[in-house]
Structure 1
C-alpha cells in the first residue's frame, strides 16, 4: 500500500490518502461492547521513537462521521440556526462528501458551515475545531490542521476525535514520535475502530505489518458503521497485496463491497488484485467504476498507467488529460501538489517541473511519501546524489513500500551501486505486481544487474 493512499481513521471510526490515498469529525458511538481485558488502557502500546508511528491522511479516514444525511443535517440547521453542533456536523459531512467525490467546491461549503458554527459559539467549540482540522487535512494543509487540532485538544481534552486529527497532522508533518503519542492518547480515551485503525497505521509505517494487520482486524471487529467496515477490509486487502496474496485481497475487497457497494477505494484495491492475478479486463473495469464514482488523481493515474502497460496509449492519454486538467486547477489555486501529481509529472511530463513541485510540497508536508515522490522527481531530472538523500528519508521508518524500494534502487543503480540496487529491487519484487509499469522495469533492471560481470 502506498502510504499516501490510505486514509487515516476517522476520529471514532476509520475514514486516506492513498493516500495509498482519504479526513473526518465528530464522535461515532461504538456500539460493540469491547472487553476490558482486551481493550484496557495500554492494550495498544506505541513506544515513541520505537516501533510505531501514527497515521496521517495516510490511512486517510474521516475523524468521526456525523450521523444523518446531509439533507437531514441541512434541515436541522434550518430549524435550529443557532445550534453550533448542527453546523459542525453539517460541515464535517461536507468534508466527507468532498473526499468521496473529489469536488473542491464541497470543501468551500464545509468551511462555510464550520465558520457559522464558530460564529455561533466561538469558545470551547470542540466539534467545530475538530472538523476544521479535518478540513485542513483534507486540503493537505497540515500546519493549519495541527493548529486546529491543538485548539480542539485544549477545549476537549477527553475528545478522542481531536487526538485523531492531531495524530494525522503530526504524521504528515514528519513528526512521528509526537504522532505516536497522540495515537496512544486517542486509544486510551476510546479504543474503537478509529483509534485502532490509526494504531494499525502507526505500525505499518514502521514496517511492522503483522502488528498492523492484527490491529486492523480489531478495528474491523469494533466497526460500528458500514464505512468503518469497508475501510478496514480495504486496509487488510492492501496488506494482502503487500504480502503478494492477491486472492486474499479479493476476498477482503468483496467483503468490503458487500458493506459499501461502489466504494472507490475498495474498487481500486480489487482492481490491483485482479491486475496481480493477470485479469486486466476486470482490473480496467474496476478502475473505471472507481473513477466514475470519484475521479481522484491516484485512481486516474492507476487507470492510465495500467492502460499504458497494455499498449493502449490513446486510452491512457484520456486519464492523463484529466490529471493535467486537475493539476492546472490546483496550481491556479496555489495549493501544494499531492504525491500523485509529482509522480505523474516526473514519469509523464517535465521532470524539472516535478522537482519544483516536490520542493514546494515538502516545505509544508515532510511525510515519507513526499520524500519518495521528490526523490523520484530528482532522479528523473538526473540529480541522483540529491535523490538518494530523499529516498533514504522515505524509507527511514522501515515502511514496506515496493514502490519506494524500486525508486531507491533506480537511484542506487544510476550512482553505480549495483549491490544496493539489487537489495532494493529484491525487496520491491516481493510484491511482483506492485506497479503496472515499474514492476516490469524492476525485473528488467535486476536481470541487467545479475547479468553484468
Structure 2
C-alpha cells in the first residue's frame, strides 16, 4: 500500500454508517471541479433557512429548463423568496457548465445578489453559490472569500468545504486544500468529496490511488451527471497511465448510460486520438462541440485538424475559439492557462507572456505555471521558463504535456541530458499525448541522438 505524503493530515475517524476502505487516502480535492456547477456544490438549506416562510420548492427531477422555469414562476409570485433566488442562481451557474453559454454568468450573479440583498447575513445557499460562480469565472480569491463566509455560516455542511478546497488548490495552497477536502469527506463521504480526493492524488502523480478513489466516487454516484463525471475522469487517468484502450472502455460504459453526453464524447475523442484513430476522434470532437462548444474542445479539434494537414478546418476552430474568448471576457471570466497556451502555440508569444504573467498572479496553480513557462519559452526567455516549468512539476504530477514543455525548454538551454529524459518520459507515458507536440518530441529526440 502506498504511504501518505508528508503533508497529509491525521487519519480521520470513520464516518457513521459508511466506512472508507482507507480513510487516510482521502485527503484533498480535484482541481478539475472548480468549473461552473462544480460537482456537489448544491448545498441544500441549513436548519435556520429550512424553517423560513419562503422555503424553496423540492428539487424537480425534470430538466434544467424545467427547474429554472419553475423557480422563475415561483419568484414571480413570491419575489421576496431569498432561498428561491439563491437556488435560481445555482441553477444558472450549473447551466454555464452544461451549455458553455457565458450569458448565464450575469444571470447567476443577479439572482444570487438578489438573494443576498433580501437576506444579507446567514444566507448559506447564496454564499456557496457566489463561491461557485467566482470559481467558474476563475476568480479564486473571490471564491475563497465566499467559501470562508459560507463555512462560517454553516460549518457542518460539506459544500462550503468544496468551494474552499477548489479555491485553495487553484491558488496553489495545496496543504490548505487537502485539509478543506478532508473536512468535506468527514462531513459527507460521497461522490463530490471522493472525486476531489482522487484528484489530489492525481496531482501528486499517484494515479493508482487516484483511480481507486474515483472508482469509489463512481460507485457512490447518485445521478447520471455524477456518474458521467467519474467515468470521464477514470478515462483521463487511464490515458495518463498510457492505456487508451482502458480509457475507451470507461467512456463506452459511460455512454451506454448517458448517450451523446458531450463530456463523454470529448473523452472518447481523446481515447481515439491516443489510439491513432483520427477519423473517429474528429467525429466525436465535432459531435461534442455541436452540443456544448467548450473552448478546450474547440482547441483540441483545431489542433487535431492541423496535425492532419487540414489547415482551413483548423483555422475555423481557432476562429471559433477566439470568438468564445471575447464572449468569456465580456462575461467577466479571467483567461488563464488555455488562453496562454493557445496564444503561445497559435498566436503571438508576447501576448501569451502577458496572459501567463497575469494568470500566475491571480491563479498560481500548476496548470498556469506550466502555461506561463511555455509562453516564456516561445518568447525566447528560456532561463525564466525553466523556473516556472519546475514549479509546475513540483508536486510530481504525471503530465506528458508538462514534461514535453520542460524538455523543449531544457533543449533550448543546451541541456540535452535533461531534455532527453523529459521527452522520453512524455512519450513513454503517452505516445500520442498531443496531435502536434508528440511529433516534435520525437524529432527533437532524434536530433539529440545525432548530436550526441
TM-score of the pair, normalised by structure 1:
0.88
**SS of 1:103 mapped into structure 2:** coil
1:231-380 → structure 2 map (5 Å cutoff):
231-331=229-329, 335-380=333-378
1:41-60 → structure 2 map (5 Å cutoff):
42=23, 44-46=25-27, 54-58=29-33, 60=35
Which contiguous aligned blocks of 4+ residues in structure 1 show a shift greater than 6 angstroms? none
Structure 1 residues 157, 115: closer, same or farther in 2, change over 3 A? same
CA distance in 2, matches of 1:162, 1:227: 20
1:198-213 → structure 2 map (5 Å cutoff):
198-213=196-211
1:402 corresponds, among 390, 400, 403, to 400
CA distance in 2, matches of 1:436, 1:80: 54
Structure 1 residues 328, 109: closer, same or farther in 2, change over 3 A? closer
CA distance in 1, matches of 2:215, 2:17: 15
Q: Does 1:38 align with 2:20?
A: yes
Q: Aligned residue for 2:41? A: 64
- Once the two structures are TM-superposed, the CA of residue 331 in structure 1 deviates from its matched residue by 4.9
Say which is worse superposed, 189-198 or 260-269, in terms of deviation: 260-269
RMSD (Å), alpha carbons: 1.9
Structure 1 residues 349, 169: closer, same or farther in 2, change over 3 A? same
Q: Aligned residue for 2:149? A: 151
Deviations 1:194-251 (A, max 9, x none): 0000000111111111110000000001100111000000000011111121111111
Gaps of 5+ in 1: 1-32, 47-52
CA distance in 1, matches of 2:21, 2:85: 33
Q: Aligned residue for 2:450? A: 451
CA distance in 1, matches of 2:421, 2:359: 29
Structure 1 residues 285, 232: closer, same or farther in 2, change over 3 A? same
- Once the two structures are TM-superposed, the CA of residue 317 in structure 1 deviates from its matched residue by 0.3
Deviations 1:166-191 (A, max 9, x none): 00000000100100000100000000
- Once the two structures are TM-superposed, the CA of residue 45 in structure 1 deviates from its matched residue by 4.2
**SS of 1:104 mapped into structure 2:** coil
Deviations 1:134-157 (A, max 9, x none): 000001111110100000000010
CA distance in 2, matches of 1:326, 1:218: 35
Contact kept, 8 Å, 2:172 with 2:366, in 1: the verdict is yes
Contact kept, 8 Å, 1:409 with 1:425, in 2: the verdict is yes
- Once the two structures are TM-superposed, the CA of residue 81 in structure 1 deviates from its matched residue by 2.8
CA distance in 1, matches of 2:78, 2:329: 39
CA distance in 1, matches of 2:129, 2:256: 29
Structure 1 residues 37, 329: closer, same or farther in 2, change over 3 A? closer
Structure 1 residues 34, 233: closer, same or farther in 2, change over 3 A? farther
Structure 1 residues 405, 247: closer, same or farther in 2, change over 3 A? same
**SS of 1:38 mapped into structure 2:** coil
Say which is worse superposed, 248-257 or 386-395, in terms of deviation: 248-257
TM-score of the pair, normalised by structure 2:
0.88
Contact kept, 8 Å, 1:413 with 1:421, in 2: the verdict is yes
Q: Does 1:120 align with 2:95?
A: no
Structure 1 residues 168, 228: closer, same or farther in 2, change over 3 A? same
Structure 1 residues 228, 179: closer, same or farther in 2, change over 3 A? same
Q: Larger Cα Rg: Structure 1 or Structure 2?
A: 2
CA distance in 1, matches of 2:21, 2:191: 12
Q: How many residues align?
A: 414
Deviations 1:380-431 (A, max 9, x none): 0000000001100110111111100000000000001111111111211121
Gaps of 5+ in 2: 1-14, 45-58, 61-66
Contact kept, 8 Å, 2:34 with 2:135, in 1: the verdict is no
CA distance in 1, matches of 2:328, 2:129: 22
